[in-house]
Structure 1
Amino acid sequence: MPEMPEVETVRKTLAALTLNKKIKHVTVWYPNIIDGDSHDFAQKVKGKTILKIDRYAKFLLIRLSDNYTIVSHLRMEGKYHLVKNSTPKDKHDHVEFSFSDGTSLRYNDVRKFGRMQLVITGTERKVTGLSKLGPEALSREFSSDYFIKALKKKKKNIKNTLLDQTVVSGLGNIYVDECLWQAKIHPESLAEKIPALSVKLLHEAINQTIAEAIKFGGTTVHSFLNAAGKTGLYQEHLKVYGHAGQACPRCGEKLKKIKVNGRGTTFCPSCQKEYK
């Protein structure tokens, strides 16, 4: 699933390709992608101009004229790509925004898990999935003091806590493993038992890792491509994710992979301390 760095990379490339383009027509080939009535969605979006592309955590916010916003979640394998109107439809293209300049923005999703919802701009934090999210990494709201207090209220393991998006949003499996390794915290540690100093180190690791991953255009492990069709480069800098059985870059111990709440999790059994 694209995480915050990947979605931020999509936002940047998508903005470069679509800003100020007028939507002449909308085609929805797979209505389940749309939250709500797909025909109503297409009619309301028709004639609008793309003014800006924003992002919150893993959600894209496509700002349209007349005070509308498309809230888009890519889920596992959703992608946007710009083509000429005459380009034949790919079998995994599910929504098309045809522009007045002869190009089209198409949403492609092999698994069909992605979703789009049209809302009035400014209401997205109230009427969409964004309402359940905690502050995102790198934001002012995500302070170390906030993080310490939030983890003290969580009785589950730290891996699951970071993945549930209510304490901090934007992290997925890849970056949680990387951040926990950076902070020397075992993924099965109870969140409420982690001492404040270690929580501060984890806070720093989250912000540092996310910022660096954004700089390198995100991580391509399976199928991630940005809106310009290019892969990310951060996979070349991963320390633990995808390296199970290899030597820990810090202590040399063999990295181990286990399941934590059903999620594959790679860590160092020697230098990542478990707090219970």
Structure 2
Amino acid sequence: MPELPEVETTRRGIAQHLEGHSVTTVDVREPRLRWAVPADLAEQLQGQTLQQIQRRGKYLLFTYPTGHLIIHLGMSGSLRIVSPDTALKKHDHVLIQFDNQQCLRYHDPRRFGCVLWTNEPAQQHPLLSVLGVEPLENEFTGEYLHQQAQKKQQAVKTFIMNSHIVVGVGNIYASESLFLAGIHPNRAAGDIDLTHYQTLANTIRDVLTAAIAMGGTTLRDFVNTQGEPGYFSQTLRVYDRAGLPCLNCGTPIERMVLGQRATYYCPQCQS
């Protein structure tokens, strides 16, 4: 599933080509995504100039004069910018063409993503209003995590993956961040002191920043706007390395399941 670094990589790749340009045509080839694509999407978008593309968690927000297009990539979605005459792929579900002869195509084999429209402020949309802080913004600190974790007995890994607490810390990035912070993923969130949370907040920020710089992580589905994979997977320290030696101490990396997600850690380096 595309996580924050993959979505941010997509945002940056798209924005430089589309911001400031107006929509000429919209073609919804398959409206049956996680939520139905609005029937009047073409009517809402045609002729409007795209002012800005922002990211909120794993959602992309396309700002137009009369509202916002909200896109989520789901499990297997991607956005590509191609010329209008580029051959269609089987799972190209939504096509938006702009006045600079660029076509934005939403591709999603599993159809778990969404393409929605709202005339209201985007942050008030039900999908966005419940989201926690952004991990790359100033509000995200060790003090914030420590405060939110008080009296919580859930595993710290599921705690930092809770989008109501902090957005965009997906499974891969949670495992990597906890390893760098030296914190066992199954440790109770409420039992971790402020100092360790300060370290964890810094490692989360560092891991996400590094992943964005490398174009995200490709293990199966993700490609960027040019159809290329992300390369952060080449630097993974624990994720998907069960049985291999820890890069710090040589102890075999172990695997467990937390919150129905595969979790990787070093039993020697993390406590």
Question: TM-score range, shorter-chain basis?
Answer: over 0.9
Verify the 8 A CA contact 2:23 2:97 in the aligned structure 1: yes
> Would the aligned equivalents of 2:142 and 2:200 in 1 still touch at CA under 8 Å?
no
Q: For 1:212-231, what aligned pairs fall within 5 Å after superposition?
A: 212-231=210-229
3-state SS of 1:223 partner: coil
Aligned mate of 1:199, from 187, 197, 200: 197
**1:153 Cα offset (Å):** 4.4
| Distance in 1 separating the partners of 2:81 and 2:181 | 40
Change (3 A) 1:37 1:82: closer
1:71 is paired with a residue whose SS is strand
- Select which of 256, 264, 267 maps to 2:265: 267
Q: Percent of aligned pairs with the same residue?
A: 34
**Do 1:84 and 1:103's aligned partners in 2 also have CA atoms closer than 8 Å?**
yes
Alpha-carbon distance, 1:74 to partner:
0.7
Number of matched pairs: 271
* Pairwise CA distance, 1:136: 1.1
AA of the residue aligned to 1:253: T
Q: Deviations over 1:110-148 (max 9, x none)?
A: 111111221236x22212311111101121111221111
Match of 1:132 in 2: 130
1:28-67 alignment to 2 at 5 Å?
28-33=28-33, 35=35, 38-64=38-64, 66-67=65-66
How far apart in 1 are the matches of 2:192 and 2:204? 15
Partner residue, 1:111: 110
Structure 1 residues 168-179: aligned runs within 5 Å: 168-179=166-177
Q: For the residues of structure 2 that align with 1:101 and 1:204, how far apart are their CA atoms? A: 41
Q: 158, 161, 164: which is aligned to 1:160?
A: 158
Structure-2-length-normalised TM-score: 0.94
Quote the RMSD (CA, aligned, Å).
1.6
Report the CA distance between 1:227 and its aligned residue: 1.0
Can you give the 5+ residue segments of structure 2 that lack an aligned partner in the other structure?
Answer: none
1:83-94 pair list within 5 angstroms = 83-94=82-93
User: What TM-score comes out, normalization by structure 1 length?
Assistant: 0.93
Give 1:89 deviation, angstroms.
Answer: 2.1
Q: For 1:220-259, what aligned pairs fall within 5 Å after superposition?
A: 220-259=218-257
Q: Does 1:99 align with 2:98?
A: yes
Matched-pair contact (CA < 8 Å) for 1:34–1:117: no
Q: Is the 8 A contact 2:37 2:115 kept in 1?
A: no
SS state at 1:117 partner: strand
Residues 134, 169 of structure 1: 8 Å contact kept: yes
Where structure 1 has 5 or more consecutive residues not aligned to the other structure, the ranges are none
